[in-house]
């Protein structure tokens, strides 16, 4: 496929034409295979998939739709035959009065057929209107449930993530497939009935009908294909300009947009990118106009040939005037049905690509779902032990954790330190059961996590990470959501609020704990990063305080947004969370926060290189001691630390 001529703005911004790595762009390629025959061949399978989904959703509604569509086809055929009777009566022998009288039964039959037809169409619309949202809801619920229940490893796997992206369009497509199916069924049945009536009237009329409709079908296919080619080549570029446009309105970019004058810069690039996309739209519209004109001309020629043939048949006495009159009406409605049918098959094919992705995602998600069942976790375990644990991310060469062994006794505070990328967060994911090690074991007491019920492991872990979820709900629910199944009113949550030092934060909110913390909604409040961390700490307290069994509390960089005083208080609070039935694990770069831990482990390139108490590690003078000293030096009296940019720094560089 030729690379489109994109604007120079895109080259400047992205270093060349943009290509998104999204699975759904595969479809744009697949759509190009769309030919009349392939679309027709795949039709029964596609209809089957959709019908099965609709059958499971509401079989009565589905049967109603099918019956009403078949009924409409029959009514249309009866209508045509009635028209034929009217024609015969009108053009038959007798006085005008007798002929008018003879017309009446046919007219009544045609009117009755039209009334029945519109009644059935209404019934079909109302039942399809019930099926469509139902099918969409079922498909969406399945998608969301599957996505929420897969292993974390699947969520972090780029391939699977792509499948999640692609499959999200499946539910909407399933809904649209219902209406496309109903329309296709309607088109097929009315075509069959028209074809049947035409064949009864005269055998030559059916091929004539096909000849009239074929150019229009060809035109519809060609316009659709042209559009697909264009979508495929332009989808990334259109999105690129939208991306730039969105940046101008985004809150996160707002400050730089104004102060660095990024606004006018991006706006001019947006305009240039949009202009090149508009030129493509114009080209497409011109092509469409030509194709449609050619199709209409060919169809017109076929129509003229049909009328000429009918003229010859009438003049040679092979066709009556009445049959010819009915045939004119039947040919017009038949060619319209055929054109619509082509469009519907086209749409069915397009939507089915996304429905298939949805099905593929569900299969893959089922394969990667966190297994249910397993042995129960004993209420008392005494300690959690990692024994020579190794974990490597699927898309990485080097292991993130390499033969790590450590023990977390209940009642103790264990700290894990190490430079960026040393494996601390990965260690926490393994510890919490989110990731299973590729070798080595994690044991709760004597039991290996691999044989335990994972949902029970999760139930025993409380997690507070630096990027903990800021849920767009009320402050109370933001705390209660630490254990959402447990009902709690403001009074129940008060100890957690007090524990986290979040009292003043809540007091400032317009409606206390009932205040909504979701900026996008009217009347909602906004918290600062540090205030959110206090809410997070309260949530962790709520979760920990609602468990009686031995558990592990993991806190990963909990104080990064806190001011120095709040940080000291937070570390103190976290230490106090250690209890006879709780092991606390603290991950942080703030060395002052770890010095009081019972035991400190130092990670380096995925390996544990040192462990001991603060005093032992300082005395050993190794990596921990140098990390501690480096941070302590930041707070040394001025003059002993060179200022950035000073000659001393420049000289030593």
Nearest distance in Å: CB 591, ligand ATP = 13
Residues 6+ apart with CB under 8 A from 373: 453
Give whichever of 396 and 522 is closer to ligand ATP, judged by the CB atom: 396
Tell me, residue by residue from 307 to 346, as one string, x for binding to ligand ATP by CB under 6 A and - for no binding.
Answer: ----------------------------------------
Stretch that binds ligand ATP, among 44-52, 53-61, 117-125, 417-425 (CB under 6 A): 417-425
Q: How many CB atoms are closer than 10 A to CB 500?
A: 24
Q: Tokens in use for 161?
A: 């993530």
CA distance linking residue 289 with residue 274, whole number of Å: 23
* Total number of residues that touch ligand ATP (CB under 6 A): 13
Dihedral angle, C-alpha 234, 240, 243, 245, nearest 10 °: -90
C-alpha distance from residue 325 to each of 94, 304, 387, 407, 603 (Å): 19, 15, 89, 93, 90
Q: CB under 8 Å to 427, separation ≥6 — which residues?
A: 386, 389, 401, 404, 416, 587, 603
Residue placing its CB nearer to ligand ATP in the complex, 178 or 431:
431
In angstroms, give the least distance from the CB of 401 to ligand ATP. Answer: 8
Q: Is 424 in the site for ligand ATP (CB under 6 A)?
A: yes
Residue from 316, 420, 451, 652 touching ligand ATP (CB under 6 A): that is 420
φ, ψ (nearest 5 deg) of residue 532: -60, -40
Cβ-contact 448, 634 below 8 angstroms: no
Q: Which stretch binds ligand ATP (CB under 6 A): 125-133, 282-290, 419-427, 504-512?
A: 419-427
Cβ 600 vs Cβ 594: under 8 Å: yes
Q: Which of 45-53, 133-141, 423-431, 455-463 is the region at the interface with ligand ATP (rule: CB under 6 A)?
A: 423-431
Q: How far is the CB of 159 from ligand ATP (least distance, A)?
A: 12
Only one of the segments 61-69, 82-90, 391-399, 444-452 lies at the binding site for ligand ATP (rule: CB under 6 A); that segment is 391-399
The CB-side HSE value for 446 (13 A sphere, CA atoms) comes to 0
Query: Helix 170-201 vs helix 321-367: angle between axes, to the nearest 10 degrees?
Result: 160
H helices present in 15-58, as ranges: 25-31, 36-57
Residue 393 in the binding site for ligand ATP (CB under 6 A): yes
Q: Is 395 in the site for ligand ATP (CB under 6 A)?
A: yes
Contact range with ligand ATP by CB under 6 A, out of 20-28, 337-345, 376-384, 418-426: 418-426
Would you state the structure tokens that stand for residue 339, as one six-digit string? 């054109």
Cβ proximity to ligand ATP, 400 vs 577, nearer residue: 400
Shortest CB 162 distance to ligand ATP, Å: 14
* Cα separation values, 104 from 75, 83, 86, 109, 116, Å: 18, 11, 8, 9, 18
- Residue 637's contacts (CB-CB under 8 Å, 6 or more residues apart) are none
For ligand ATP, give the closer residue by CB, 426 or 478. Answer: 426
The DSSP result for 205-263, as a single string, is HHHHHHHHHHHHHHHHHHHHHHHHHHHHHHHHHHHHHHHHHHHHH-TTTHHHHHHT-HH
Show contacts with ligand ATP in window 243-302 (CB under 6 A).
none
In the list 207, 421, 504, 564, the residue contacting ligand ATP (rule: CB under 6 A) is: 421
Q: With respect to ligand ATP, which residue has the nearer C-beta, 223 or 427?
A: 427
Task: Give the HSE-up count for residue 485: Cα atoms under 13 Å, Cβ half-sphere.
Answer: 3
Q: Which of 410, 417 has the CB closer to ligand ATP?
A: 417
Residue 559 binds ligand ATP (CB under 6 A): no
The total of other beta-carbon atoms located within 10 Å of residue 459's CB is 17
Min dist. Cβ of residue 626 to ligand ATP (A) = 17
Structure tokens at 470: 């800021």
**Nearest distance, CB of residue 353 and ligand ATP, angstroms:** 29
In the set 117, 426, 533, 588, which binds ligand ATP (CB under 6 A)?
426
Least separation in angstroms between CB 595 and ligand ATP? 19
Which stretch, 14-22, 70-78, 351-359, 416-424, contacts ligand ATP (CB under 6 A)?
416-424
Question: Which of 187, 325, 418, 482 is close enough to bind ligand ATP by CB under 6 A?
Answer: 418
Nearer of residues 73 and 423 to ligand ATP, judged by Cβ: 423
Among 396, 451, 526, 653, binds ligand ATP (CB under 6 A): 396
Given the complex with ligand ATP, which of 377 and 434 has the nearer CB atom? 434
- Length of the chain measured in residues: 653
H/E stretch holding 418 reads: strand 413-418
**Which residue's CB is nearer to ligand ATP, number 221 or number 427?**
427
Query: Shortest approach of ligand ATP to residue 423 CB, angstroms?
Result: 4
CA angle centred on 426, ends 423 and 429, rounded to 5°: 155
Q: Which residues pair with 386 in a beta bridge?
A: 406, 442
**Nearer to ligand ATP among residue 28 and residue 557 (C-beta):** 557
Structure tokens at 191: 């075509």
Q: At what angle do helices 321-367 and 205-249 cross, to 10 degrees?
A: 40
* Cβ distance to ligand ATP smaller for residue 418 or 437: 418
- Select 151 or 236, whichever has its Cβ closest to ligand ATP: 151
Stretch near ligand ATP under the rule CB under 6 A, chosen from 42-50, 286-294, 345-353, 392-400: 392-400
x-or-dash pattern for ligand ATP, window 152-181, by CB under 6 A?
Answer: ----x-------------------------
DSSP letter for each residue of 61-111: HHHHHHHHHHHHHHHHHHHHHHHHHHHHHHHSSS-HHHHHHHHHHHHHHHH
Q: Which residue stretch of 50-58, 76-84, 85-93, 420-428 sits at the interface with ligand ATP (rule: CB under 6 A)?
A: 420-428
State which of residues 149, 425, 441, 546 lies at the interface with ligand ATP (CB under 6 A): 425
Min dist. Cβ of residue 444 to ligand ATP (A): 22
Of 358 and 424, nearer to ligand ATP (C-beta) is: 424
Shortest Å, Cβ 627 to ligand ATP:
12
Report how far apart, in Å, the C-alpha atoms of 374 and of each of 434, 443, 457 are: 16, 14, 11
CB of 480 to ligand ATP, least distance (A): 28
CA distance 576 to 124: 66
Is the CA virtual torsion 351, 357, 363, 366 positive or negative?
negative
Determine, following the binding rule CB under 6 A, whether residue 432 of this chain makes contact with ligand ATP: no
Q: What is the rounded distance in angstroms from the CA atom of residue 270 to the CA atom of residue 7?
A: 10
560 touches ligand ATP by CB under 6 A: no
* Residue 400 in the binding site for ligand ATP (CB under 6 A): yes
Chain residues that interact with ligand ATP, rule: CB under 6 A: 156, 393, 395-396, 400, 418, 420-426
């Amino acid at each position: 496929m030729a690379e489109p001529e994109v604007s120079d703005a895109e080259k400047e911004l992205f270093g060349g034409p943009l290509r998104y790595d999204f699975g759904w762009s595969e479809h744009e390629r697949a759509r190009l295979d769309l030919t009349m025959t392939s679309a027709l061949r795949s039709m029964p399978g596609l209809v089957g998939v959709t019908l099965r989904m609709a059958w499971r959703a509401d079989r009565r509604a589905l049967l109603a739709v099918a019956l009403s569509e078949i009924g409409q086809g029959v009514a249309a055929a009866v209508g045509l035959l009635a028209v034929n009777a009217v024609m015969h009566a009108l053009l038959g022998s007798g006085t005008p009065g007798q002929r008018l009288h003879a017309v009446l039964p046919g007219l009544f039959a045609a009117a009755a057929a039209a009334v029945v037809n519109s009644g059935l169409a209404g019934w079909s619309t109302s039942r399809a209107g019930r099926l469509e949202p139902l099918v969409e809801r079922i498909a969406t619920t399945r998608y969301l449930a599957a996505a929420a229940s897969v292993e974390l490893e699947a969520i972090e796997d780029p391939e699977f993530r792509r499948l999640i992206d692609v499959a999200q369009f499946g539910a909407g497509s399933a809904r649209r497939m219902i209406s496309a199916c109903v329309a296709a069924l309607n088109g097929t049945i009315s075509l069959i009935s028209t074809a049947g009536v035409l064949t009864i009237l005269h055998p030559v009329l059916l091929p004539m009908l096909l000849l009239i409709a074929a150019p229009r079908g060809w035109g519809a296919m060609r316009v659709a294909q042209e559009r697909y080619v264009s979508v495929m080549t332009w989808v990334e570029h259109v999105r690129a300009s939208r991306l730039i446009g969105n940046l101008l309105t985004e809150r996160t970019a707002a400050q730089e947009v104004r102060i660095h004058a990024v606004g006018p810069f991006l706006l001019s690039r947006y305009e240039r990118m949009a202009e090149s996309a508009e030129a493509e739209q114009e080209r497409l519209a011109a092509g469409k106009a030509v194709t449609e004109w050619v199709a209409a001309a060919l169809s017109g020629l076929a129509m003229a040939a049909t009328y000429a043939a009918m003229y010859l048949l009438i003049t040679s006495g092979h066709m009556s005037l009445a049959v010819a009159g009915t045939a004119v009406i039947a040919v017009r409605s038949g060619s319209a049905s055929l054109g619509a049918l082509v469009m519907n098959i086209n749409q069915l094919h397009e939507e089915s690509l996304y429905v298939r992705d949805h099905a593929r995602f569900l299969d893959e998600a089922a394969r990667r779902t966190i297994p249910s069942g397993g042995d129960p976790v004993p209420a008392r375990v005494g300690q959690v032990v990692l024994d020579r644990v190794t974990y490597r991310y699927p898309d990485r060469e080097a292991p993130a954790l390499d033969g790590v062994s450590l023990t977390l006794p209940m009642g103790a505070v264990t700290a894990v330190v190490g430079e960026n990328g040393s494996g601390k967060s990965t260690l926490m994911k393994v510890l919490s059961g989110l990731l299973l090690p590729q070798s080595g074991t994690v044991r709760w007491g004597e039991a290996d996590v691999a044989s335990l019920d994972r949902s029970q492991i999760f139930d025993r872990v409380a997690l507070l990470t630096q990027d903990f979820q800021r849920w767009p709900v009320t402050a109370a629910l933001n705390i209660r959501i630490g254990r959402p199944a447990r009902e709690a009113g403001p009074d129940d949550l008060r100890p957690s609020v007090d524990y986290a030092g979040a009292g003043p934060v809540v007091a400032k909110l317009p409606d206390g704990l009932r205040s909504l913390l979701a900026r996008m909604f009217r009347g909602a409040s906004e918290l600062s990063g540090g205030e959110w961390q206090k809410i997070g700490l309260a949530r962790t307290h709520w979760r920990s305080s609602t468990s009686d069994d031995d558990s592990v509390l993991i806190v990963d960089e909990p104080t990064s947004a806190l001011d120095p005083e709040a940080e000291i208080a937070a570390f103190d609070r976290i230490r106090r969370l250690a209890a006879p039935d709780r092991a606390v694990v603290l991950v942080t770069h703030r060395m002052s926060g770890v010095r009081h831990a019972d035991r400190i482990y130092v990670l380096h390139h995925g390996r544990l290189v040192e462990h001991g108490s603060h005093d032992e590690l300082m005395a050993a003078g190794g990596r921990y001691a140098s990390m501690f000293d480096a941070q302590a030096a930041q707070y040394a009296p001025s003059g002993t630390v060179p200022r950035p940019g000073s000659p001393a720094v420049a000289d030593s560089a």
